[in-house]
Amino acid sequence: MNQIISGKAYVLGNDIDTDQIIPAEYLVYNMDDPKERRLYGLYALSGVPEEKAGLPKGHIPFIPENEETSPYSIVIGGKNFGCGSSREHAPAALDIAGVQVVIALSYARIFYRNAVDGGFLIPYECADDLTQEIETGDELVVKQEINLLSNTTRGKSYALKPMGEVAGIVQNGGLFEYAKQNNLMNMDSRNE
Protein backbone atom coordinates (compact mmCIF):
# COMPACT_ATOMS: atom_id res chain seq x y z
CA MET A 1 0.00 0.00 0.00
CA ASN A 2 1.31 3.40 -1.01
CA GLN A 3 1.50 6.11 1.60
CA ILE A 4 1.09 8.91 -0.93
CA ILE A 5 -1.12 8.68 -3.98
CA SER A 6 -1.06 11.44 -6.57
CA GLY A 7 -2.98 11.79 -9.77
CA LYS A 8 -5.41 13.76 -11.89
CA ALA A 9 -9.00 14.19 -10.77
CA TYR A 10 -12.06 13.10 -12.73
CA VAL A 11 -15.13 14.77 -11.28
CA LEU A 12 -18.64 13.32 -11.35
CA GLY A 13 -21.91 14.30 -9.67
CA ASN A 14 -24.32 12.70 -7.22
CA ASP A 15 -25.84 9.21 -7.39
CA ILE A 16 -23.36 7.74 -9.87
CA ASP A 17 -24.94 4.30 -10.30
CA THR A 18 -23.22 1.10 -11.33
CA ASP A 19 -25.02 1.09 -14.70
CA GLN A 20 -23.11 4.29 -15.45
CA ILE A 21 -19.87 2.85 -14.10
CA ILE A 22 -20.10 -0.30 -16.24
CA PRO A 23 -23.24 -0.79 -18.41
CA ALA A 24 -24.90 -4.19 -18.12
CA GLU A 25 -24.21 -5.28 -21.69
CA TYR A 26 -20.47 -5.50 -20.88
CA LEU A 27 -20.85 -7.82 -17.89
CA VAL A 28 -20.09 -10.86 -20.00
CA TYR A 29 -16.33 -10.66 -20.32
CA ASN A 30 -13.99 -12.96 -18.42
CA MET A 31 -12.05 -11.06 -15.73
CA ASP A 32 -9.32 -13.70 -15.74
CA ASP A 33 -8.64 -13.48 -19.47
CA PRO A 34 -6.10 -10.68 -20.07
CA LYS A 35 -7.57 -9.75 -23.47
CA GLU A 36 -11.15 -9.55 -22.17
CA ARG A 37 -10.25 -8.02 -18.83
CA ARG A 38 -9.01 -4.83 -20.49
CA LEU A 39 -12.48 -4.29 -21.95
CA TYR A 40 -13.77 -3.54 -18.46
CA GLY A 41 -11.29 -0.69 -18.26
CA LEU A 42 -12.15 0.46 -21.76
CA TYR A 43 -15.86 0.72 -20.94
CA ALA A 44 -15.49 2.09 -17.40
CA LEU A 45 -17.80 5.08 -16.88
CA SER A 46 -19.06 4.76 -20.46
CA GLY A 47 -22.63 4.95 -19.11
CA VAL A 48 -22.23 8.52 -17.84
CA PRO A 49 -24.15 11.00 -20.00
CA GLU A 50 -21.65 13.10 -21.98
CA GLU A 51 -22.67 16.42 -20.47
CA LYS A 52 -22.01 15.05 -16.97
CA ALA A 53 -18.73 13.33 -17.81
CA GLY A 54 -15.83 15.24 -16.26
CA LEU A 55 -17.33 18.15 -14.34
CA PRO A 56 -17.70 21.06 -14.24
CA LYS A 57 -17.35 21.36 -18.03
CA GLY A 58 -18.56 17.91 -19.02
CA HIS A 59 -17.89 16.21 -22.37
CA ILE A 60 -14.53 14.95 -21.14
CA PRO A 61 -14.18 11.23 -21.87
CA PHE A 62 -12.86 9.20 -18.95
CA ILE A 63 -10.98 6.99 -21.41
CA PRO A 64 -9.44 9.10 -24.21
CA GLU A 65 -10.01 8.06 -27.78
CA ASN A 66 -7.71 5.23 -28.94
CA GLU A 67 -6.70 4.47 -25.37
CA GLU A 68 -7.71 1.73 -22.97
CA THR A 69 -6.87 3.22 -19.61
CA SER A 70 -7.57 6.55 -18.03
CA PRO A 71 -5.20 9.42 -17.30
CA TYR A 72 -7.38 10.13 -14.25
CA SER A 73 -6.49 7.99 -11.24
CA ILE A 74 -8.60 9.80 -8.64
CA VAL A 75 -12.38 9.92 -9.10
CA ILE A 76 -14.36 12.55 -7.23
CA GLY A 77 -18.05 11.97 -6.54
CA GLY A 78 -20.92 13.50 -4.64
CA LYS A 79 -23.41 11.57 -2.51
CA ASN A 80 -24.44 7.95 -2.90
CA PHE A 81 -21.56 6.95 -5.18
CA GLY A 82 -21.94 3.49 -6.67
CA CYS A 83 -25.67 3.07 -6.11
CA GLY A 84 -27.77 0.50 -7.88
CA SER A 85 -26.67 -2.99 -8.83
CA SER A 86 -24.29 -5.09 -6.71
CA ARG A 87 -22.03 -5.75 -9.70
CA GLU A 88 -18.48 -5.97 -8.39
CA HIS A 89 -17.48 -5.38 -11.99
CA ALA A 90 -18.03 -1.68 -11.18
CA PRO A 91 -15.12 -1.04 -8.77
CA ALA A 92 -13.13 -3.64 -10.74
CA ALA A 93 -13.63 -1.70 -13.99
CA LEU A 94 -12.46 1.53 -12.36
CA ASP A 95 -9.40 -0.29 -11.01
CA ILE A 96 -8.58 -1.81 -14.40
CA ALA A 97 -8.94 1.63 -15.98
CA GLY A 98 -6.31 2.94 -13.56
CA VAL A 99 -8.30 4.43 -10.69
CA GLN A 100 -6.59 4.11 -7.32
CA VAL A 101 -8.84 6.22 -5.15
CA VAL A 102 -12.43 7.43 -5.14
CA ILE A 103 -13.34 10.33 -2.85
CA ALA A 104 -17.04 10.96 -2.38
CA LEU A 105 -19.49 12.56 0.04
CA SER A 106 -21.06 9.16 0.64
CA TYR A 107 -21.32 5.70 -0.86
CA ALA A 108 -23.97 3.12 -1.56
CA ARG A 109 -23.09 0.21 0.71
CA ILE A 110 -22.64 -2.64 -1.75
CA PHE A 111 -20.23 -0.65 -3.93
CA TYR A 112 -18.29 0.41 -0.83
CA ARG A 113 -18.09 -3.15 0.41
CA ASN A 114 -17.04 -4.50 -2.97
CA ALA A 115 -14.34 -1.87 -3.36
CA VAL A 116 -12.93 -2.69 0.07
CA ASP A 117 -13.32 -6.48 0.11
CA GLY A 118 -12.07 -6.84 -3.46
CA GLY A 119 -9.17 -4.44 -2.88
CA PHE A 120 -9.93 -2.62 -6.14
CA LEU A 121 -9.58 0.95 -4.98
CA ILE A 122 -9.76 2.91 -1.76
CA PRO A 123 -13.15 4.56 -1.19
CA TYR A 124 -12.53 7.66 0.90
CA GLU A 125 -15.28 9.82 2.30
CA CYS A 126 -14.97 13.55 2.69
CA ALA A 127 -17.28 15.86 4.62
CA ASP A 128 -16.76 18.58 2.01
CA ASP A 129 -18.60 18.39 -1.29
CA LEU A 130 -15.50 18.13 -3.45
CA THR A 131 -17.58 18.20 -6.64
CA GLN A 132 -17.90 21.93 -5.98
CA GLU A 133 -14.21 22.38 -5.17
CA ILE A 134 -12.28 20.33 -7.69
CA GLU A 135 -12.28 20.43 -11.49
CA THR A 136 -11.52 17.52 -13.77
CA GLY A 137 -7.83 17.55 -14.53
CA ASP A 138 -6.74 19.08 -11.23
CA GLU A 139 -3.63 17.50 -9.77
CA LEU A 140 -4.37 15.88 -6.42
CA VAL A 141 -2.27 14.30 -3.69
CA VAL A 142 -3.68 11.91 -1.07
CA LYS A 143 -1.55 11.45 2.04
CA GLN A 144 -2.93 8.25 3.51
CA GLU A 145 -1.12 8.37 6.82
CA ILE A 146 -2.74 11.66 7.81
CA ASN A 147 -5.96 11.33 5.78
CA LEU A 148 -5.32 14.52 3.86
CA LEU A 149 -6.24 15.47 0.32
CA SER A 150 -4.36 18.31 -1.34
CA ASN A 151 -5.33 19.98 -4.59
CA THR A 152 -1.99 21.22 -5.82
CA THR A 153 -3.60 22.92 -8.83
CA ARG A 154 -5.73 25.15 -6.62
CA GLY A 155 -3.65 25.16 -3.45
CA LYS A 156 -6.38 23.83 -1.15
CA SER A 157 -6.48 20.89 1.25
CA TYR A 158 -9.28 18.82 2.71
CA ALA A 159 -9.61 16.32 5.56
CA LEU A 160 -10.54 12.79 4.55
CA LYS A 161 -12.54 10.65 6.97
CA PRO A 162 -10.42 7.82 8.41
CA MET A 163 -11.15 4.37 7.01
CA GLY A 164 -12.41 3.27 10.41
CA GLU A 165 -13.60 -0.31 10.81
CA VAL A 166 -12.56 -1.47 7.37
CA ALA A 167 -9.00 -0.10 7.71
CA GLY A 168 -7.65 -3.59 8.39
CA ILE A 169 -9.15 -5.01 5.20
CA VAL A 170 -8.00 -2.01 3.15
CA GLN A 171 -4.47 -2.20 4.54
CA ASN A 172 -4.24 -5.86 3.63
CA GLY A 173 -5.55 -5.25 0.14
CA GLY A 174 -8.85 -7.10 0.43
CA LEU A 175 -10.99 -9.53 2.38
CA PHE A 176 -9.09 -12.70 1.53
CA GLU A 177 -5.74 -11.16 2.31
CA TYR A 178 -7.13 -9.85 5.60
CA ALA A 179 -8.71 -13.22 6.42
CA LYS A 180 -5.51 -15.15 5.70
CA GLN A 181 -3.54 -12.72 7.85
CA ASN A 182 -6.00 -13.22 10.72
CA ASN A 183 -6.66 -16.93 10.34
CA LEU A 184 -10.30 -16.49 9.46
CA MET A 185 -10.56 -19.00 6.67
CA ASN A 186 -11.23 -22.61 7.57
CA MET A 187 -9.69 -23.83 4.40
CA ASP A 188 -7.89 -27.00 5.36
CA SER A 189 -10.84 -29.34 5.32
CA ARG A 190 -12.12 -27.85 2.08
CA ASN A 191 -9.33 -28.67 -0.30
CA GLU A 192 -8.90 -31.98 -2.00
Partner 1 sequence: MTITEKILAKHADRAHVSAGENIWIDVDVLMTHDVCGPPTIGIFKKQFGHGARVWDPKKVVIIPDHYIFTSDIHARRNIQVLRDFAKEQNLAHFYDPGTDTYKGVCHVALAEEGFNLPGSVLFGTDSHTCTSGAFGMFGTGIGNTDAAFVMGTGKLWVKVPETMKFIVEGERPAYIMAKDIILKIIADIGVDGATYRAMEFDGEGILSMNMEERMTLCNMVIEAGGKNGIIQADETTIAYVKERTDRPFEIYENDSDANFASIHIYQAPKLEPMVARPYLPSNGVAAASLNDVRLDQCYIGSCTGGKITDFMAAARILKDQQVKVKTAIVPATQIVNQKFDTETVDGKTLREIFTEAGAEIGEPSCAACLGGPVDTFGRLNSNEICISTTNRNFHGRMGSKQSQTYLASPFTVAASALTGHITDPREYLNAD
For binding to partner 1 (CB under 8 A), which residues are involved? 15, 17, 19-20, 23-25, 27-32, 36, 47-49, 79-80, 83-89, 106, 108-110, 113-114, 117-118, 165, 174-176, 179, 184-187, 190-192
**Alpha carbon of residue 41 to chain centroid:** 12
**Nearest approach, Cβ of residue 80 and partner 1 (Å):** 4
> Could you give the CA distance from residue 130 to residue 60 in angstroms, rounded to a whole number?
18
Helix (H) or strand (E) holding 109: helix 109-117
Sheet holding 72-77, edge to edge: 122-125, 101-104, 72-77, 4-11, 139-143, 148-151, 156-159
- Closest separation between CB of residue 130 and partner 1, Å? 17
Whether 140 contacts 74, CB under 8 Å: yes
CB of 48 to partner 1, least distance (A): 8
**Phi–psi pair at 16, nearest 5 degrees:** -75, 110
Nearer to partner 1 (CB atom), residue 32 or residue 65: 32
Write down the least CB distance from residue 36 to partner 1, Å. Answer: 8
Query: Measured from the CB atom, is 88 or 138 closer to partner 1?
Result: 88
Measured from the CB atom, the residue of 30 and 157 that comes closer to partner 1 is 30
